[in-house]
Structure 1
Amino acid sequence: MTDVNTESVYADHEWISLKDAAGQLGVSSGRLHRLLEERYLLSVKYSGEKQLPQAFIRNGEPLAGLRGTLTLLADQGIDGDEAMTWLLSEDDSLGMTPVAALAEGRKSSVRRSVQLFAV
């Protein structure tokens, strides 16, 4: 994954501030930070501030399957920008980005892809 340009991957997605994320989720900033700490969501510094992809919030809730995927990535020593770049990059084994596969409910396929990525 080291040959992937993080900025170009990030540029292909819509980003929201943590304040906007809290608003969409209907939670306080403190609760949002707990959701980040508990790996329901992931944010990175992008364009000078902590943000997260709009795709991580669906129908006013954190994207289903994201927490388990983030936990599995962290268990493999993959977090922060590396995890975000992987989630937002096209994955050949999935035929789409992992976050798009999660949005389609394909969490088992995404988890298998994590295991291949971490090897």
Structure 2
Amino acid sequence: MLGPDVAVLSLAQVSEALGLSVNKVRQLLRDGQLLAVRRDGELRVPADCIAGNAPVKGLSGLLTVLADAGFSRTEMLRWLYSEDESLPGTTPINALRTNHGTEVKRRAQAMAF
């Protein structure tokens, strides 16, 4: 799914970064506002999904579009980290982090049809 080179944060680390309880972080995961991967039996959030003290702008909307297109959580993570030279930032997650969310969302919507 995600390579070992992708930095991930424990739920406790995400909780600290966002200033929320771990239960609230779990709620963000359930609500599709964040994604997590299981590593060593623990849920981990890719560090790229956090910007400052909030989830990356546009991430939750993008996750909704991908879910509506039938993507599983694993497929969403794989797509977010797939190389795409035509995107600013070369991957959808990097493009989101550099305020190119509209372009990323447009690509996700196009895949749904």
TM-score, normalised on structure 2? 0.89
Tell me which residue corresponds to 1:3.
none
Post-superposition, which runs of at least 4 consecutive aligned residues in structure 1 deviate over 4 A?
none
Q: How does 1:9-20 map to 2 (within 5 A)?
A: 9-20=2-13
Structure with the larger helix share: 1
Q: Which amino acid aligns with 2:42?
A: E
Give the direction of change, closer, same or farther, for the CA distance of 1:60–1:81 in structure 2 (3 Å limit).
same
Task: Quote the Cα distance in structure 2 between the aligned partners of 1:13 and 1:116.
Answer: 27
1:103 aligned onto 2:94: no
Q: What code does the residue aligned with 1:98 have?
A: P
Between the two proteins, the alignment pairs up a number of residues equal to 112
1:118 to partner: Cα distance: 3.9
Whole-Å separation in 2 of the counterparts to 1:85 and 1:61? 22
Which residues of structure 2 form unaligned runs of 5+? none
The answer as to 2:32 corresponding to 1:39 is yes
Give 1:93's match in structure 2, choosing from 59, 72, 86.
86
In structure 1, runs of 5+ residues without a counterpart are: 1-5
1:59 aligned to which of 52, 57, 82: 52
Task: Give the aligned residue type for 1:85.
Answer: R
Equivalent position amino acid for 1:107 in 2: G
Contact 2:10/2:44 (8 A) holds in 1: yes
Matched-pair contact (CA < 8 Å) for 1:10–1:88:
no
RMSD: 1.6
TM normalised by structure 1 equals 0.84
Structure 1 residues 19-54: Cα deviation after superposition (integer angstroms, max 9, x where no partner): 111111110011111111222211121243211111
Query: Residue deviations 1:74-99, cap 9 Å, x none?
Result: 00011311101111121243151111
Task: Provide the identity percentage.
Answer: 37
